Amino acid sequence: MHATSEQAATLIWEALRQGTALAALPADCRPGTREQGYAVQACLAGLAGLDTVGWKIAATSLVGQRHIGVAGPLAGRILSGFVHGDGAVVSLEGNRMRVAEPEFGFFFGRDLPPRPDPYPVAVVLDAVQRVVPVIEAPNSRFADFAHAGEAQLIADLACAGHFLVGGETGARWRELDFPDHPVRGLVTHGGATVAQRDGTGAAVLGDPRVALAWLVNELSSLGITLRAGQFASTGTCMPPLEVQAGDTALADFGALGQVSVRFCR
């Protein structure tokens, strides 16, 4: 474990645990490249004593990339303790983003280890066991996450927050038209609708299956295996839904089912 990566990971983990914000990592441990950012991620998981149960993709649209000032997608670890079932209650304390993002969740049935050549989409999909609806409530440990830069954002788990994972419906997901698959996001407060948005899989790098292959190949280039039992949340299907304490957010993925979350302080 590199000393500077460990120092950066310690600061991020403490901010995450305490709900506090960092202006920036100190210059002597601040990652300057994507690779250094991913090294901090790996240290963070070890320091926290948590398992990597999945992976997320941040900034899968041009709008999202512009919002956080990056040129392309970012991969982030999803740690045990931050994954919940449908209908769970999640606290917004310390959350600076305060949004809900409906996403496709792909669960893997076998390992995809690093290899010299890129994995084609078809090979990646062959390793997928099931697809379920997911809501991410992302967060950043940086006060000004829009200007933190991609290396620091990667170190910060690519703004990973809490993940609400829906159940399997038995839908024949391999036959779905993912780019055109409709997704509806709904926010209610006290039973009244306060926000509603519609999206499709095309918002996710044009096709969430393409985004999934990007993730596998990004990890492969770093010498990381995407393991059986892990899942990938491929990025929001619509502009994020703003939420506050007391709101309930629901994502309706049609044949793939629904998932919801209730937010508290």
CATH, residue 64: 3.90.850.10
Q: What total number of domains does the chain contain? A: 1
CA 235 to each of CA 22, 42, 239: distance values in angstroms, whole numbers, following the listed order: 24, 21, 11
Residue 121, in any domain of the structure: yes
Asked if the model's pLDDT at residue 1 lies above 70, the reply is no
d(C-alpha 218, C-alpha 235), whole Å: 15
Report whether 161 contacts 82 (CB < 8 A).
yes
Structure-token pair, residue 153: 């954002």
d(C-alpha 14, C-alpha 133), whole Å: 30
Residue 12, in any domain of the structure: no
- Mean pLDDT across 41-47: 94
pLDDT band at 10 (very low <50, low <70, confident <90, very high): very high
Residue 43, in any domain of the structure: no
Residue 20, in any domain of the structure: no
- pLDDT tens, position by position, 95-151: 999 999 999 999 999 999 999 999 999 999 999 999 999 999 999 999 999 999 999
Q: Can you give the residue range of the structural domain that contains 171?
A: 51-264
Ramachandran category for residue 229: left, alpha or beta (phi over 0 → left; psi -120 to 50 → alpha): left
Place of tokens 């994995």: 119
Residue 6, in any domain of the structure: no
CA 102 to each of CA 54, 116, 211: distance values in angstroms, whole numbers, following the listed order: 16, 33, 15
Residue 46, in any domain of the structure: no
Task: Give the count of alpha carbons within 13 A of 233, CB side only.
Answer: 32
pLDDT band at 256 (very low <50, low <70, confident <90, very high): very high
Q: How far apart are the first and last CA of the chain?
A: 36
Residue 228, in any domain of the structure: yes
SS3 of residue 195 by DSSP: strand
Per-residue pLDDT, 69: 86
Residue 38, in any domain of the structure: no
The residue type of 238 is: M
Nearest alpha-carbon partner for 40 in 26, 21, 53: 26
Per-residue pLDDT, 255: 97
28 exposure class (CB count in 10 Å sphere: 0-12, 13-18, 19+):
exposed
Report whether 119 contacts 111 (CB < 8 A).
no
Nearest alpha-carbon partner for 201 in 218, 219, 176: 176
